[in-house]
Amino acid sequence: MSGDFIWNNVLDQIDERGWAWLAIGPDDGSLSDEEFPAYCYTVGLAAKGLPDLIIIGLAPQTAFTVGDQLINKALANAAGTQAPPFEMNTDLLEVFKGTRAMLVDVPHEHAAKRTLFALDYAEAVSKPLQTVQLLWPDRQGRFPFEDGVAPTFAAAQPVLKNMPPPAPGYAESPVLQ
């Protein structure tokens, strides 16, 4: 698929509903030297004054459904009150109908690496890239960063806020003087 085709699809989705979803397959590390699970993210929320959303490890259709619900609620909050559009760093019980979920800020360096189309779109509309990650719990209701969570579950849903900054690539390496 060409970049132009993807961009046109993204822009069509934004025109149709106000934002687009992109699903990214897992990276086995063969191209990037870093394994990373499949994830989905939005493009276009910057134009609405909202952070873009990233959801790691959920099936795309599930991520799109719960993400759209969160976005619609945030848009309603932003339009009618002075309340922040997203409730951050707190248990959200309405997302998965009775089990916990949580939104956390994603540091810019992780957002720029994982949400390239959102970054490009934000720059095109002269807005800063802001991203939040939706965290979902294991079967016992634990988030990936909590005690007792299985290492395989934590690996399937890395918390970008808690990850070390990406190592600089060759082009990003500081110049030695």
Percentage, residues of the chain above pLDDT 90: 63
CA distance 174 to 168: 8
Kindly tell me the sign of the dihedral angle through the C-alpha atoms of 159, 165, 32, 14: positive
Q: Tens digit of pLDDT for each residue in 63-85?
A: 999 999 999 989 888 776 666 77
Query: Average pLDDT of 162-169?
Result: 55
What is the structure's pLDDT at 34? Answer: 83
